[in-house]
Structure 1
Amino acid sequence: MRFGEEDFYVDPVSLERLTLSVDECTGDQVVCGELRSPSGHRFAIRRGVPDLVYPFELPPVDRQALQQYEERADAYDRYLPLTFSTYGEDEQAVRTAMVDKLALRPDSRVLETGAGTGRDSVIIAGRLGTAGRLYIQDLSPSFLARNIDRLRDIPARVEPALANGYYLPFADNSFDACFHFGGINAFGDIQRAFSEMARVTKPGGKVVVGDESMPPWLRETEFGRILMNSNPEFRYPLPLDKLPVAARKTRLEWIIGGVFYVIDFVVGEGEPPADFDFPIPGVRGGTHRTRYYGQLEGVTPEAKRLAQEARARAGKSMHQWLDEAVRAAARRDLESPE
């Protein structure tokens, strides 16, 4: 970790700024030390890599995922190309197309969570100039170590850290783009992970995520059954219901034989904007807002028929006629002596 980065990282729990304590450094690199937050949380820096993983005691699903990653780290790069060759896909072309969705500039600040051994990281870093910055994070120390080696000679500034994808150690609106491909199915809280990616990305920035998921129309085919039998992760559902409210211009694409999804969206602010208060033309009338908030108890069929006839004779929308009728009746009863 370089000196100065402590001002960019925050406590993943409280989002408080961190204070750096250095035990060993080489030039501008902090080799060994500690980051502390005002809340008292302490995060070690070992061999230049801050360990910002939270929860400090991982839940069982995350512990299991971490153990699996550590056990297969040596074989991961050796066997991963089979994923692409199975479907006759060009791995470099597929990964490049995913990175294209980030719409990066040479000076972009990018976060890659679940960065693994760096097969996407090297493509992202290649889009950045010396003014760009790539933060790579993973839960697995072994995977991250391989990623660091792969990016060692990249001109762009690269900052690695151990971190949990659904407790990100960054302030709101810190990045121009966020990327994560693979391993989402193993997250203990996918919805929180997506929400965190949107939180740390600036409004107008891009988020690109993807993982295995057999599409519904292939699940009962021989193709689908064979693949789901070999790799149970294909059984995981498409997590569209886990996307954050801030997702805008959301797009879904099926890639790598049509059994991996890629979702990309532009980060907005809060719920989408909309005009709910313009008068809606037609017999019913009213506005979107009055139709939702102005509902009253139902009336008898006879009362409804009379109201419709009166509305038509008055030449008003039902909203206008009812609004006037209810107001008049309410004022009459409120003003009359008990």
Structure 2
Amino acid sequence: MHAREEKFYVDPATREELVLVDAKVSSDGAVIEGGLVSPAGNRFEIRNGVPDFIYPFELPDVDKKSLQQSEQRAGVYDQYLPLTFSTYGEDEQQVRSNMVDKLNLRSDSVVLEIAAGTGRDSEIIAQRLGPEGRLYIQDISPSFLAHNVQRMQNIGANAEASLANGYYLPFRDNSFDACFSFGGINGFADIKRAFAEMARVTKPGGKVVVGDECMPPWLRDTEFGRVLMNSNPEFSYPLPLDKLPVEARKTSVQWIIGGVFYLIDFEVGEGEPYADFDFPIPGARGGTHRTRYYGQLEGVTPEAKKLAYEARAKTGKSMHQWLDEVVRAAAQRDLGAAD
């Protein structure tokens, strides 16, 4: 970790600023050992230049299992991963390049890659960036991340690595121009929180691109689907559209790599989407979207409803206008009588 990156990170649990302590710095200004401490007292160690922001400190069982599997596979991952693409007759580099295209990167973009693995996508992202751009790579697996760091050094990438849990990100709000994650989110204990975190740390207007295994509904009851789901249970995982954050705009989803991996991309907005709820809606019902939602009263008998519709039709008013006038008049009458 370079000393200049210290203020870029925050405590993933509290989002408080961190202070560098007990630092050992190399001749080129890189922090190779030390700790980052927050006002809450949380300390995150730096080892061999890589800060460890993994939180919660005691991981849920789902995350422990994912971490264990990653550590076991790291040594042979790059050797066997190409089989994923050759199985379906796909060109790995072209598929990965097409995914990165969706990030809409500029040469000076600041990009976060979550669950970055050994760096097969990281390398493509890094090659899209110029001297002013920067790539932050993180993974929960030390072994995966070590392979990625070596790959970044081999290509001379402007990259900063850290260990982190994908649904507790150690960054301030609106830190990145784009956020990417492919092939890891199925193993997260809290996918909904992960999407929310991606939206939080990405600037409004920035892109989030996420993908993983998922057999589409129309193939689940085919021999093709059953064979693959039997070999890899992750193919049976549901498409996580219900986990997307309210900030997701211009959202699209497609199935890639033989049609059995989803790819979701969206532009980050601010809060809930905008809509004009207050314009008068033409027609017999009338009112506005807002009055139709907030102005509902208790139900009446079928006879009273029939009379109301007949009276409204005779006056030519919308039902909203007729009811509003009738209720106001009756309320004022009764309130006056009570006085």
- Asked whether the two chains share a fold, i.e. TM above 0.5, the reply is yes
Report the residue type matching 2:131 in the other structure: T
SS in 2 for 1:207: strand
One-letter identity of the residue aligned with 2:109? S
Q: Is the Cα contact below 8 Å between 1:33 and 1:44 reproduced in 2?
A: yes
1:134-173 aligned within 5 A? 134-173=135-174
Match of 2:215 in 1: 214
- Partner Cα separation in structure 1 for residue 267 and residue 129 of structure 2: 20
- The aligned residue for residue 5 of structure 2 is 5
Tell me the residue number matched to 1:25: 25
TM-score (norm 1): 0.99
Instruction: Report what 1:98 is aligned to.
Output: 99
Q: Provide the C-alpha distance between the structure 2 equivalents of 1:337 and 1:85, rounded to a whole number of angstroms.
A: 81
For residues 226-305 of structure 1, the aligned pairs below 5 Å read 226-305=227-306
Instruction: Provide the residue aligned with 1:16 in structure 2.
Output: 16
Q: Is 1:117 equivalent to 2:118 in the alignment?
A: yes
1:51-100: per-residue Cα shift (whole Å, max 9, x none)?
Answer: 01000111111111101100111110000000000000000000000000
Q: CA deviation at 1:307?
A: 1.2
Structure 1, unaligned runs of 5 or more? none
- For 2:319 and 2:23, the matched residues in 1 are separated by 75
TM-superposed CA distance for 1:303, in Å, is: 1.2
Tell me what 1:57 maps to.
Answer: 58
**1:118-174 C-alpha deviation (Å, 9 max, x unpaired):** 000000000000100100000000000000111104454210000000000001100
Following superposition, the deviation at residue 23 of structure 1 comes to 3.3
Task: Give the TM-score of the pair, scaled to structure 2.
Answer: 0.98
Shift of 1:18: 0.4
Q: SS state of the match for residue 304, structure 2?
A: helix
Structure 1 distance, partners of 2:103, 2:197, is: 17
Q: Hey, what's the Cα distance between the residues in 2 that align with 1:249 and 1:22?
A: 46
- Pair 1:180 & 2:169 matched: no
The question of whether the paired residues in 2 share the 8 Å contact of 1:116 and 1:143 is answered with yes
Q: Comparing 310-319 with 142-151, which one deviates more in the overlay?
A: 310-319
Structure 1 contact 130–155 (Cα < 8 Å) conserved: no
CA distance in 1 between partners of 2:338 and 2:61 (Å): 68
Residues 150 and 156 (structure 1 numbering): CA distance in 2 closer, same or farther, change over 3 Å? closer
Aligned equivalents of 2:240, 2:336: Cα separation in 1: 56
**Matched position secondary structure for 1:77:** helix
Q: Following the alignment from structure 1 to structure 2, what is the Cα–Cα distance between the partners of residues 306 and 58? A: 63
CA distance in 2, matches of 1:244, 1:104: 22
The alignment-based identity, stated in percent, is 74
Q: Distance in 2 between matches of 1:145 and 1:286?
A: 61
The number of residues matched between the two structures is 338
Match of 2:133 in 1: 132
Point out the more displaced range, 16-25 or 218-227. Answer: 16-25
Question: What do the CA deviations read for 1:311-333 (whole angstroms, capped 9, x no partner)?
Answer: 11211000000000000000000
Cα distance between partner residues in 1 of 2:170 and 2:320: 51
Q: SS of 1:291's equivalent?
A: helix
Taking a change above 3 Å as real, the CA distance of residues 337 and 80 of structure 1, as seen in their structure-2 partners, is: closer
| CA deviations over 1:32-59 (Å, ceiling 9, x no partner) | 0100001000000000000010001111
Distance 1:132-1:22 versus aligned 2 partners, 3 A rule: farther
Deviates more, 1:256-265 or 1:298-307: 298-307
Contact 1:22 1:30 in 2 (8 A): no
The range that moved more, 15-24 or 126-135, is 15-24
Cα distance in 2, alignment partners of residues 304 and 237 from structure 1: 44
Q: Which residue of 1 aligns with 2:322?
A: 321
- Would you say the 8 A contact 1:129–1:155 is kept in 2? no
Distance 2:23 2:293 in 1: 61
Q: 2: CA distance between counterparts of 1:39 and 1:246?
A: 29
For 1:309 and 1:231, how far apart are their aligned partners in 2?
62
